[in-house]
Structure 1
């Protein structure tokens, strides 16, 4: 037995959707377990607190981006950032989670000591002071991108005399009234910013190198709002959630199986919004739908801004940034007072925390995902990396439930080590899969740092929520691959298993 107990049974890194969701599940499923959330920022919300650019909103419906245990009550299912923050804050307060949060705690490193069956975690406070925390289990809810550095597309702005802004670092109370704006990029962020800025700006141009598939839908879910009026709140939410999950799954599979039909359907919606004379080429990417995420256009806001003349979409390549705008390789000059570089994110693994086991650094690119939740031969650690083809929270919910089941199994069996064991012999037989068969730039740029994924379950990050939900909720926790041992009493057996896996 250790002379001193761990500070916490579970340490959750990040107070965004993933972290708050895990805390709520611990409260519901593991009430005897102690836990803390460490959050580097001063508020909860993660992504939704970091991003403050105009129009910040969800690109998934809130009946699936919301938690399974907490109904979404707002009229709009495509919600703005402040509404999402209100939702998370209410959960943190009503469920007693907030007292467990340590704000201003940035995790620098975490070393697992197998002989102690616990993590030694170094955190850095705002004033530079460092503290050591110990925990038996770590749950990484730190997201998937670099909070400090966005993707640098390598543009030279030395001649440009206006303001250059990256959406990740939007200035507070920034006034762009009457300004000419060029938004570089065509992803979800750009599609959100352009119509939002068009209300006040003189003109907003979305400059895209290649088009993105766009999908328009109402911001309000009429069926959801009707059901809320005639059914109990939780029942209405469950039905709407089931409907939207089913529709997401159907749409994704249709795009993969019948891409030409989906292309026609998407173009038909855009034509209905912009008219028959719209520039079809500007909305026809060189890839099939759902080879990158579809960009949501709620209530046709982008198309309405274009029809009014307040916004436009230009396809072209940048030659250089001049003092008063963007010169394209075609020779055209796009006048600009403000350049917004919506050029994408930079992926980061494990929140850039230095993870090690007994002092040996962990290289995640050499580990396999286990059930999209844990990693091969890495004990007492779980993570959330949301779905590419559905809402992030769908995975966060089922991963949280699964980890709670693992913790309860450990308690019931008197074990304190839970390790997904992949032997060297078994690994040699694994056929690798393309972990992210999406052509999105940020995905392709970051693949080299991401964990491995096999073609066969469970050593993969699956992209089919309904299947994952069944396995993680109903499948055996003690499946013969997830090893449950105890430091000391049977530590030798665990060490032998891990040695065989090396």
Structure 2
């Protein structure tokens, strides 16, 4: 049985970042990263649809400790994957990664004060017995969506279609869409990315949406001032500066939209003036029914989405799918919001792309036990955004949904490392977040986004409450302050084992 102080599950952004923080702050601890896939990268290795890119700037979406040196702050999928591989290699993290290791179950023993992991070796012959690993701490960095199944969406008659039906999560490498008519069902970031990318080869691409999203044009290259600074400032100064400015700016935009939702709505819709072709009115095609940041605002670098619409190779239809037939989709379109003036339309298609969202899953389908009793992270309260109520020596690394995901991951692992240091000082071997006796908590939603995939999977997300340290995350600035300077000794039960403490145990192993 392979034994480590810490085992990290997942070699995506969260796993690589957690490994870096761990080896920088607690270099005396041994660790391994177990990754199900045959390559590192997580999301950025899985998703390979045309045009895939980040929907946040890499100054904040990237690692705090690894500058993003590309001319554009919006990274393409292949660029981000290479950046992650580079980061892992530079820090020696890649030497700790074991690929094709799928964690099936994790069982905690209070007697042994260790997790025992049952792991399938994906590279082994079928029928081979699973591998066993042992760890004092288990750090889950598997993200928040199901890698094996997309969000199930009922599209009437889809089984009748005789062309290709594809989901962006599992894009076929050999799919030939050149000269074809493509219909992309959806209106989120993926659909808005796909439309201009597919239109480069397809005869025509239509985005079919039930309801619109806010779409904001951003420049793909950095500002002139930033380019000027990059000539004189070293990267160890420039990167933190870029990161800080982007964090502050995104926080300002978010708070402004929350404080003045009507004005924000008018401003974002007003920014569409002159960007749309005459046949596509703002209402109903670009007038969302919700306020900005009730769902995430989508971005289009250099307005490539709008350019595609103006070129005539791309189009948008708003309505409800009545029926999919052998060669296309019958749609009841909306011609004007709220006036009941609808008409039926046929969209001919050779390919239908179902960009209808991700299926939320916490823990990657792993089963957990604590002293023989089944537990689920989704049923537990989240302690300071990083550990789970009642789960010993266990960390859950989740990022933000409204702003750059990686910022949340980093805040969570910084707190986790501080807890381990506190355990060393107290010579504790086990830590368990617990609600103080006599305290009454009222549950709050983990996330306030109203996106379909969030609403359908909200029950699968960890629980948060109305009192610290069980509160939902409030902002990146307060979270980073808490990660570095906030109290971390509340609602934690620390147990001293019969043997040596954390640091001493490592020295004797």
Normalised-by-shorter TM-score class: over 0.9
- Cα distance in 1 between the residues matched to 2:226 and 2:29: 36
Residue of structure 2 in register with 1:100 after alignment: 96
Summarize the alignment of residues 384-463 of structure 1 with structure 2, pairs less than 5 Å apart.
384-426=397-439, 429-463=440-474
Number of aligned residues: 484
2:482 corresponds, among 471, 485, 495, to 471
- Cα distance in 2 between the residues matched to 1:374 and 1:152: 30
1:45 corresponds, among 20, 38, 41, to 41
**Are 1:60 and 2:56 an aligned pair?**
yes
CA contact (8 A) 1:370 1:461 kept: no
**Are 1:141 and 2:141 an aligned pair?**
yes
CA contact (8 A) 1:216 1:300 kept: yes
- Cα distance in 2 between the residues matched to 1:266 and 1:375: 39
Q: Pick which of 325-334 and 88-97 moved more.
A: 325-334
Residue of structure 1 in register with 2:303 after alignment: 300
What are the superposed Cα offsets for residues 308-367 of structure 1, whole Å, 9 maximum, x if unpaired? 001011001001111111101342101100000001110001121101101111133431
2:352 corresponds, among 330, 335, 339, to 339
- Cα distance in 2 between the residues matched to 1:212 and 1:152: 20
What are the superposed Cα offsets for residues 64-113 of structure 1, whole Å, 9 maximum, x if unpaired? 00111111111110110111011100111111011110100001110111
Pairwise CA RMSD of aligned residues? 1.7
Residue of structure 2 in register with 1:285 after alignment: 288
Residue of structure 2 in register with 1:233 after alignment: 235
**Superposition TM-score, scaled by structure 2 size:** 0.92
Gaps of 5+ in 2: 333-342, 502-509
1:29 corresponds, among 25, 42, 55, to 25
Q: Structure 1 residues 46 and 211, CA, compared in 2 at 3 Å: closer, same or farther? A: same
Summarize the alignment of residues 48-447 of structure 1 with structure 2, pairs less than 5 Å apart.
48-126=44-122, 127=124, 128=126, 129=128, 130-155=130-155, 156-222=157-223, 223-274=225-276, 278-281=280-283, 282-329=285-332, 330-426=343-439, 429-447=440-458
What are the superposed Cα offsets for residues 467-495 of structure 1, whole Å, 9 maximum, x if unpaired? 11101111233x2322222234799xxxx
- Cα distance in 2 between the residues matched to 1:350 and 1:377: 16
**1:424 Cα deviation from its structure 2 partner:** 4.8
CA contact (8 A) 2:398 2:412 kept: no
**1:460 Cα deviation from its structure 2 partner:** 2.6
**1:277 Cα deviation from its structure 2 partner:** 7.3
Q: Pick which of 454-463 and 201-210 moved more.
A: 454-463
Gaps of 5+ in 1: 492-502
What are the superposed Cα offsets for residues 360-382 of structure 1, whole Å, 9 maximum, x if unpaired? 11133431111111111211111
Q: Pick which of 216-225 and 319-328 moved more.
A: 216-225
Q: Structure 1 residues 276 and 161, CA, compared in 2 at 3 Å: closer, same or farther? A: closer
**Are 1:484 and 2:494 an aligned pair?**
yes
Q: Structure 1 residues 277 and 169, CA, compared in 2 at 3 Å: closer, same or farther? A: closer
